[in-house]
Amino acid sequence: MGITDWIEIGRMDELGRMDTPAHRLDARAKAIVTLAFIVVVMSFPRHDVSALTPFLLYPIALISLGRIPVGYLARKILIAAPFALFIGIFNPLLDRTPVTTIGTVAISGGWVSFGSIMFRFFLTVGAALALVACTGMNRLGAALERLGVPRVFVVQLLFLYRYLFVVSDQAGKMKRSAEMRSSGRPLRLRVYGSMIGHLLLRSMDRAERVYRAMVARGFDGEVRVLRPSSFVWSDAIFVAGCLLFFVSARLWNLAEAFGRLLTGGAM
Confidence band for 43, pLDDT divided at 50, 70 and 90: very high
**240, 199: one domain:** no
Q: Report how many helices (DSSP H) and strands (DSSP E) the chain contains, helices first.
A: 13, 2
Is residue 263 one of the residues assigned to a domain? Answer: no
Indicate whether 243 belongs to any domain: yes
Q: How far is CA 118 from CA 12, 21, 46, 254, in A?
A: 24, 30, 11, 20
pLDDT at 265 over 60: no
Q: Is the separation of the CB atoms in 60 and 127 below 8 Å?
A: no
CA distance 17 to 12: 9
Which carries the bigger pLDDT value, residue 182 or residue 253? Answer: 253
Amino acid found at 45: P
User: Are residues 193 and 119 located together in one domain of the fold?
Assistant: no
Same-domain check for residues 190 and 101: no
Does one domain contain both 127 and 162?
Answer: no
Say which residue, 216 or 181, is predicted with more confidence. 216
Assigned domain for 173 exists: yes
**Is 177 in the same domain as 47?**
no
Q: Are 33 and 116 within one domain?
A: yes
Say yes or no: 40 and 108 in one domain: yes
If one compares 106 and 111, the residue with the highest pLDDT of the two is 111
- Which residue from 123, 129, 161 is spatially nearest to 40, judged by alpha carbons? 123
72 and 202 part of one domain: no
Q: Is residue 224 part of a domain?
A: no
Nearby residues of 96 by Cβ (< 8 Å), 6 or more positions away: 108, 109, 110
Domain hosting residue 192, numbered range:
150-218
DSSP three-state, residue 102: strand
**Considering the domain boundaries, does residue 265 fall inside one?**
no
| Same domain flag for 58 and 127 | yes
| Domain-embedded: residue 9 | yes
Candidates 55, 60, 28, 20; CA nearest to 39 is 55
Please state, in angstroms and rounded to a whole number, the distance separating the CA atoms of residues 89 and 66.
34
d(CA 16, CA 225): 12
Q: In the predicted model, what is the mean pLDDT of residues 205-225? A: 78
Start-to-end CA distance of the chain, whole Å, equals 55
- Residue 4 in this model has a pLDDT that exceeds 60: no
Q: 5 and 135: one domain? A: yes
Answer yes or no: are the C-beta atoms of 56 and 122 closer than 8 Å: no
In a domain, 223, yes or no: no
pLDDT of residue 3: 46
Q: How many domains does the chain have?
A: 2
Q: Is residue 266 part of a domain?
A: no
The more confident residue out of 163 and 154 is: 154
Based on the domain organization, do 141 and 159 belong to the same domain? no
> Looking at the structure, do residues 202 and 247 belong to the same domain, yes or no?
no
User: CA 157 → CA 136, 138, 144, 232, distances in Å?
Assistant: 13, 10, 11, 27
100 touches 112 (CB < 8 A) = yes
Burial 175-206 (b: 16+ CB within 10 A, else e): beeeeeeeeeeeeeeeeeeebeeebeeeeeee
